[in-house]
């Protein structure tokens, strides 16, 4: 794979007519080292955020040994990429054949669940040839918790209610070699208090059930940086989680886990898109709602953008024409239309770009490593394009140590 210094250099070299995904392995490596060193427990990578084998190898090389997988295809993908990795099948509703293949072929022992039916299904699917139940199952009961502090809710689909969790934990304890409790506070949790509230629920459930708990998994939800979404430092999240974990009535050697998807992958990718047409403050670009900009279209997510000028307004006259300069003057708000023929292929933004931007120019859209590159489809014949590696910094980073603490600006998030 070709290595370029930055997005303008890619535009000069390739003059791309299709979207180009830019990989930043150094940024993903830094995120992995941060979690491996500073989270007071084990960090699993939630593969759905970005299943790129290149990314998964970078994370492994930088201290991430456990992977949260949710489908048999993700199990196979990580196993092929990393033969030694520990895989944890954390989707609470699985098919029996997926459980069977994961257990017998890929060595998966850790499974999550939120119903009695799923416990039964896991037990059945992992029976040996003589009909004996597996003795080495590591089972995690998923608890429903609030998503009120997060930008994207994960509260309605999975998780057993507090009131019903006691009997499920007791029944699961009977068949599990090792018992965990897991939850997910929703994605992009903008304050560590989200985890405090969830851990309070865990405390109530454990006290009620009276069973020995070997592991607490606080899930994903760790934020990244986007326009208008500047979270407090991750160290604050880790400190608060650790303090509340230590106060739980659990085994003295109980483990603490987390499952970041977004926080480990967001800085890994950006995307170069081409402006095909301008209509006032609307830009028609070549990626959108069915591509890497899914969240920009469907949940109004804002991503940082950077203009890459095509020097003379003509994109057909060769490499020498590209100025590649990054304008910072005279910015105005734009919205985007994606390439498909669907009206819903629209991204309101606002995206701040130079007033003089024109058809033939490019835009680099940043912070697309999580739920961006992973969301591309081939709908309407779009979704192609190259992937290259660049060496410059992502447009924002939680891991560089030079970020301004948002609590000292007016954008104050109350912490405790
Ligand atoms: C999606 C998901 C994650 C990752 O969530 P992020 O908000 O991206 O950190 C972790 N665990 C489970 C079970 C998930 O479904």
- Domain residue ranges of the chain, discontinuous segments joined by +: 3-21+266-390, 25-265
Task: List the beta strands (DSSP E) in 26-82.
Answer: 42-46, 66-69
Residue 401 — very low, low, confident or very high, per pLDDT cuts 50/70/90? confident
Q: Residue 267 pLDDT > 90, yes or no? A: yes
CATH topology of domain 25-265: TIM Barrel (3.20.20)
Instruction: State the Cα angle at 323 between 320 and 327, rounded to 5°.
Output: 170
Of all helices (H) and strands (E), which one includes residue 77?
helix 72-81
Residue 114 — very low, low, confident or very high, per pLDDT cuts 50/70/90? very high
Q: Residue 82 pLDDT > 60, yes or no? A: yes
The pTM assigned to this predicted structure is 0.93
Q: Please give, one letter per residue, the 3-state secondary structure of 186-240.
A: CEEECCCHHHHHHHHHHHHHHHHHCCCCCEEECCCCCCCCECCECCCCHHHHHHH
User: What's the rounded Cα separation, in Å, for the pair 85 and 88?
Assistant: 10
Q: Output the CA 189–ligand 1 centroid distance in Å.
A: 11
The reply to whether omega before 350 is within 30° of 0 (cis) is yes
C-alpha dihedral (314, 318, 324, 325), degrees to nearest 10: -50
For ligand 1, atom 9, the nearest C-alpha belongs to 220
Q: CATH number for 3-21+266-390: choose from 3.90.1150.10, 3.40.50.150, 3.30.10.20, 2.40.37.10.
A: 2.40.37.10
Q: Residue 317 pLDDT > 50, yes or no? A: no
Span 381-388, average pLDDT: 92
Whole-number pLDDT of residue 404: 67
Q: Residue 413 pLDDT > 90, yes or no? A: no
Whole-number pLDDT of residue 113: 98
In the numeric block, the tokens 């995206």 are attached to 351
Ligand 1 atom closest to the CA of 221, numbered from 1: 7
Q: Which of 64, 154, 194, 264 to mutate to test the pocket of ligand 1 (most atoms within 8 A of CB)?
A: 154
The CB-side HSE value for 250 (13 A sphere, CA atoms) comes to 24
Rg, C-alpha atoms of the chain: 23
Residue 7 — very low, low, confident or very high, per pLDDT cuts 50/70/90? very high
Instruction: State the Cα angle at 129 between 127 and 133, rounded to 5°.
Output: 25
Q: Residue 148 pLDDT > 90, yes or no? A: no
Bridge partners of 305, per DSSP, are 365
Choose the weakest-confidence range: 150-154, 266-270, 363-367: 150-154
Report how far apart, in Å, the C-alpha atoms of 358 and of each of 15, 285, 304, 338, 402 are: 15, 11, 18, 16, 34
> How many CB atoms within 10 Å of residue 384?
12
Contacts of 120 (CB under 8 A, 6+ apart): none
Q: Residue 177 pLDDT > 60, yes or no? A: yes
Residues above pLDDT 90, as percent of the chain: 84
Residue 203 — very low, low, confident or very high, per pLDDT cuts 50/70/90? very high
Q: Output the CA 259–ligand 1 centroid distance in Å.
A: 6
Q: Which of 192, 219, 369 to mutate to test the pocket of ligand 1 (most atoms within 8 A of CB)?
A: 219
pLDDT in tens, 239-261: 999 999 999 999 889 999 999 99
Whole-number pLDDT of residue 321: 40
For ligand 1, atom 10, the nearest C-alpha belongs to 220
Q: Which of 48, 59, 198, 222 to mutate to test the pocket of ligand 1 (most atoms within 8 A of CB)?
A: 48
Q: Output the CA 221–ligand 1 centroid distance in Å.
A: 6
Whole-number pLDDT of residue 396: 96
Q: Output the CA 219–ligand 1 centroid distance in Å.
A: 6
> How many CB atoms within 10 Å of residue 279?
8
Largest CA distance in the chain: 75
Helices vs. strands in the chain: H and E counts, helices first: 11, 19
Residue 397 — very low, low, confident or very high, per pLDDT cuts 50/70/90? very high
Residue 407 — very low, low, confident or very high, per pLDDT cuts 50/70/90? low
Whole-number pLDDT of residue 311: 65
Q: Output the CA 232–ligand 1 centroid distance in Å.
A: 19
Ligand 1, pocket residues at CB < 6 Å: 46, 48-49, 68, 90, 184, 187, 219-222, 259-263, 370
Instruction: State the Cα angle at 246 between 180 and 192, rounded to 5°.
Output: 85
Span 52-75, average pLDDT: 98
Whole-number pLDDT of residue 128: 95
Report how far apart, in Å, the C-alpha atoms of 299 and of each of 82, 115, 348, 363, 407 are: 33, 30, 10, 21, 26
247 versus 310: the higher-pLDDT residue is 247
Contacts of 129 (CB under 8 A, 6+ apart): none
Q: Label residue 395 exposed, middle or buried (CB < 10 Å: 0-12, 13-18, 19+).
A: buried
Instruction: State the Cα angle at 57 between 54 and 60, rounded to 5°.
Output: 155
Report how far apart, in Å, the C-alpha atoms of 244 and of each of 238, 249, 282, 407 are: 10, 11, 48, 22
Q: Residue 373 pLDDT > 80, yes or no? A: yes
The number of residues making up the chain comes to 416
Q: Output the CA 11–ligand 1 centroid distance in Å.
A: 33
| Of the candidates 118, 93, 88, 116, the residue with the CA atom closest to the CA atom of residue 217 | 88
> How many CB atoms within 10 Å of residue 216?
26
């Amino acid at each position: 794979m070709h290595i370029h210094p930055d997005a303008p250099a890619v535009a000069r070299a390739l003059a791309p007519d299709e979207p180009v995904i830019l990989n930043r392995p150094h940024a993903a490596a830094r995120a992995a080292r941060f979690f491996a060193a500073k989270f007071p427990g084990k960090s699993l990578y939630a593969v759905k955020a970005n299943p790129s084998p290149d990314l998964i190898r970078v994370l492994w090389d930088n201290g991430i040994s456990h992977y949260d997988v949710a489908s048999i295809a993700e199990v196979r993908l990580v196993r092929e990429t990393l033969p030694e990795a520990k895989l944890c099948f954390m989707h609470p509703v699985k098919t029996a054949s997926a459980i069977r293949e994961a257990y017998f072929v890929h060595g998966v022992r850790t499974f999550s669940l939120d119903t009695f039916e799923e416990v039964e299904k896991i037990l059945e699917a992992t029976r040996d040839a003589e009909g004996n139940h597996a003795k080495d199952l590591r089972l995690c009961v998923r608890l429903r918790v609030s998503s009120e502090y997060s930008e994207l809710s994960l509260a309605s689909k999975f998780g057993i209610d507090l009131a019903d969790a006691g009997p499920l934990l007791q029944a699961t304890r009977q068949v599990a070699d090792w018992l965990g409790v897991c939850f997910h506070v929703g994605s992009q949790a903008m304050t560590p208090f989200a985890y405090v509230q969830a851990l309070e629920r865990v405390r109530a459930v454990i006290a009620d059930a009276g069973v020995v708990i070997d592991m607490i998994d606080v899930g994903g939800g760790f934020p990244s940086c986007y326009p208008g979404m500047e979270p407090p430092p991750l160290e604050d999240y880790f400190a608060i989680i650790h303090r509340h974990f230590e106060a739980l009535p659990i085994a003295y050697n109980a483990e603490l886990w987390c499952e970041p998807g977004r926080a480990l992958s967001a800085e890994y990718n950006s995307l170069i898109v081409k402006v095909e047409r301008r209509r006032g403050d609307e830009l028609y670009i070549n990626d959108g709602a069915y591509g890497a900009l899914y969240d920009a279209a469907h949940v109004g997510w804002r991503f940082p953008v950077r203009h890459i000028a095509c020097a003379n307004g003509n994109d057909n006259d060769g490499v020498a024409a590209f100025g590649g300069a990054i304008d910072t003057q005279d910015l105005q708000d734009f919205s985007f239309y994606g390439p498909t023929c669907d009206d819903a292929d629209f991204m309101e933004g606002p995206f701040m770009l130079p007033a003089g931007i024109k058809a033939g120019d490019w835009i680099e859209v940043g912070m697309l490593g999580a739920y961006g590159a992973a969301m591309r489809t081939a709908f309407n014949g779009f979704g192609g394009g190259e992937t290259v590696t660049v060496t410059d910094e992502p447009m924002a980073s939680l891991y560089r140590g030079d970020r301004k603490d948002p609590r000292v600006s007016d954008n104050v998030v109350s912490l405790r």
